[in-house]
Amino acid sequence: MRRVLITGGASGIGAATVARFQEDGCRVAALDIDEAALALSTAEVKVHCNVADEASVAAAVEAAVAELGGLDVVVAAAGVASRGSVEHCSPEEFGRVMSINVRGVYLTCRATIPHLRAAGGGAVVTVASQLGLVAVADAVAYCASKGAVINMTRSMALDHAAEGIRVNCVCPGPTETPLSASFFADTPDPAATLQAFKDAGVIGRLISPAEIAEAINYLASERAKATIGAALVVDAGYTVR
Ligand SMILES: NC(=O)c1ccc[n+]([C@@H]2O[C@H](COP(=O)([O-])OP(=O)(O)OC[C@H]3O[C@@H](n4cnc5c(N)ncnc54)[C@H](O)[C@@H]3O)[C@@H](O)[C@H]2O)c1
């Protein structure tokens, strides 16, 4: 029975990923900064954690791994959205986004990889975005952060492949979660922005969190054992044209 740790596990893609691994009979720990959402999580182990804070991540990972009795899979899904061009995104906002979306992935991997090694190997799946591969206007910090996650994932994949730790990322397109709702709401015409993101894909709707969780579950599984450092795009065709 695999033991799985998921940051951002209390909402959206992270919560759907908790459910998907539970379907496989895995033991799952959800780490999240949102205590109220965490209280509603179905995860067996729930630990408060701020992924941007080194001590918080270290303590949360130790607590979760102790409860799970080891660790086989890590999913780094915690993240925040942000709007603004380079002139409108303040240095504070740029730092906030990078500290959660990039430093958070770094700290999560730094704290968990020793436990995967101790288990004889394992899998890490980071959650980037289609906006790490292509850009959208007025989201300079978010686009920068997701591009960084993709290449950090590749670098970690090279560092740890020989010890049986596979590191990959998933690049979701527009997915129906509170994060995308806030991303659309923070524009002059939210309804038009929502429609534009639906139209950017080829299926005429937002992606469901469960559809992203399926890809994460695949990347973490033995079915993907030759997949290393990949950026698996699940974007409803957003980046195809
Ligand atoms: N929804 C989309 O359209 C979309 C598209 C591409 C990529 N993504 C990425 O998917 C991931 C999950 O996003 P989602 O759409 O499910 O959003 P969400 O808001 O539903 O979930 C994100 C979770 O991360 C948690 N979180 C935020 N800051 C944190 C912190 N400092 N420490 C710990 N937890 C923290 C939140 O409390 C929340 O539970 C994010 O990395 C996001 O950038 C989302």
Alpha helices in the chain (DSSP H): 12-23, 35-40, 54-68, 91-101, 103-118, 140-160, 178-185, 190-200, 209-219
Does residue 206 line the site of ligand 1, with CB under 6 A?
Answer: no
The residue-averaged pLDDT of 194-212 equals: 96
Does residue 80 line the site of ligand 1, with CB under 6 A?
Answer: yes
Domain 3-173+208-234, second-level architecture: 3-Layer(aba) Sandwich (3.40)
pLDDT digits (tens, 9 = 90+) for 46-64: 999 999 999 999 999 999 9
Domain ranges of the chain: 3-173+208-234
**Alpha carbon of 160 to ligand 1 centroid (Å):** 25
pLDDT digits (tens, 9 = 90+) for 134-158: 999 999 999 999 999 999 999 999 9
The verdict on whether 106 is a catalytic residue reads no
Residue 241's pLDDT band (boundaries 50, 70, 90)? confident
Does residue 127 line the site of ligand 1, with CB under 6 A?
Answer: yes
Report the chain's mean pLDDT, rounded to a whole number: 98
pTM of the model: 0.98
